[in-house]
């Protein structure tokens, strides 16, 4: 059983106010914040790294002041040597480490390394990568990420042609967390939800919304309604 998890991408936020932006998203009802780490090698862009995540973790402590608030850091590692950064991201305060299948020669060993550092392990695939590569890893993963844009830059157009990958994963692994990332918003969430995605990364559509809380709830409702129809919704 799974449920909707909404993870706004801080790539779309104000980098001068990242701590405040994270608090704003959690107060608006997000389950996670999605943190894009880019190294300029695996993707042609450079964003942020462990020092920034560490600072954000100080600003957004695990559990919040009340010990119960959402504070999950979903770290999407678009880096050429993902093994190198596992200890650093764990130390900085990451909760989940998503590596790209295309960036490692031994994905299963990397999954074990991530978990040995106390983080959840997830594997992402680029648009040009077959979903089949995830099948041998699936039982070891906490989540699979199907990119719905080419990784590297925010604000790209959603690639509906990636939805069969999501549908195949949901059919084969009904209880897996399946994330989609890239171009998600009010117009594209129906296709993602219908395919079976339950973890939604949304950047511009949430951060630039007049009412972020309303948009987050809209995304959540579309996903949960589909999961309920499939008999997969975790109550």
Each residue of 68-124: pLDDT tens digit? 789 999 999 999 999 999 999 999 999 999 999 999 999 999 999 999 999 999 999
Catalytic residue among 36, 39, 74, 168: 36
Residue 201 CA to residue 203 CA, distance in Å, equals: 7
Measured N-to-C along each axis, helices 82-92 and 50-59 cross at an angle, to the nearest 10 degrees, of 20
CB proximity list for 184: less than 8 A, separation 6 or greater: 148, 158, 192, 200, 201, 202, 203, 205, 219
Domain extents in the chain: 5-230
Find where tokens 């909404």 sit. Answer: 6
pLDDT tens for residues 169-185? 999 999 999 999 999 99
Catalytic residue among 31, 74, 168, 181: 181
CB proximity list for 232: less than 8 A, separation 6 or greater: 1, 2, 174, 175
- Annotation marks residue 31 as catalytic: no
Distances (CA, A) of 19 to 13, 39, 169, 196: 10, 21, 34, 32
Residue 163 CA to residue 173 CA, distance in Å, equals: 15
pLDDT tens for residues 219-235? 999 999 999 999 999 98
Annotated binding site for a divalent metal cation: 34, 36, 76, 181
- Annotation marks residue 168 as catalytic: no
Distances (CA, A) of 123 to 126, 137, 208: 10, 9, 28
CATH, domain range 5-230: 3.20.20.70
Whole-prediction pTM value? 0.96
Residue 61 CA to residue 70 CA, distance in Å, equals: 10
């Amino acid at each position: 059983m799974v449920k909707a998890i909404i993870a706004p991408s801080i790539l779309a936020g104000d980098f001068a106010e990242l701590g405040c932006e994270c608090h704003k998203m959690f107060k608006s009802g997000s389950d996670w914040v999605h943190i894009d780490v880019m190294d300029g090698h695996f993707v042609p862009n450079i964003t942020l790294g462990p020092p920034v995540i560490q600072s954000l973790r100080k600003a957004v402590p695990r559990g919040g002041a009340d010990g119960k608030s959402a504070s999950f850091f979903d770290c999407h590692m678009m880096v050429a040597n993902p093994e190198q950064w596992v200890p650093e991201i764990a130390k900085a305060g990451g909760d989940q480490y998503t590596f790209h299948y295309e960036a490692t020669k031994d994905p299963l060993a990397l999954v074990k390394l991530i978990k040995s550092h106390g983080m959840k392990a997830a594997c992402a695939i680029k648009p040009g990568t077959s979903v089949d590569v995830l099948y041998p890893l699936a039982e070891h993963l906490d989540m699979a990420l199907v990119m719905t844009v080419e990784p590297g830059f925010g604000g790209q157009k959603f690639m509906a042609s990636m939805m069969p990958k999501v549908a195949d994963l949901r059919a084969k692994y009904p209880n897996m967390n399946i994330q989609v990332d890239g171009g998600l918003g009010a117009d594209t969430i129906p296709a993602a939800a219908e395919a079976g995605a339950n973890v939604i990364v949304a950047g511009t559509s949430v951060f630039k919304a007049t009412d972020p809380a309303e948009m987050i709830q809209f995304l959540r409702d579309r996903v949960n309604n589909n999961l309920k129809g499939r008999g997969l919704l975790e109550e």
